[in-house]
Amino acid sequence: MDTIHKTTPKEESYRLTLKALRARNFSKNLPFLLLSDKLPEGQVYREYADGHIEVQEVFTIGSRFQHKLLKVLPAPEADKLRSEYGLL
């Protein structure tokens, strides 16, 4: 039997904070970084204001951070990820 997970006040506060940070980044035309333990170490999700999400590898060269595009998520996969993070 499936159980319905009710969000705790702490989880709701976290979700609202994520949404606010995301909106702030988008208002400044910046991507929103999503870290996930589902990705290998050194990889991140970056969501852009136009709705697309990329998987990128992040690394350093000297003291500078660099990133490399690995994959653009298909729209249904991007929506699923946003849903998992409570960003829809």
Segment among 24-28, 69-73, 75-79, 83-87 with least mean pLDDT: 83-87
Predicted TM-score (pTM) of this structure: 0.81
E-assigned strands of 1-88?
A: 32-34, 43-47, 53-61, 64-72
Question: Tell me: the pLDDT tens digits for 17-66?
Answer: 989 999 999 999 999 999 999 999 999 999 999 999 999 999 988 899 89
Helix or strand (DSSP H, E) at 83: helix 75-84
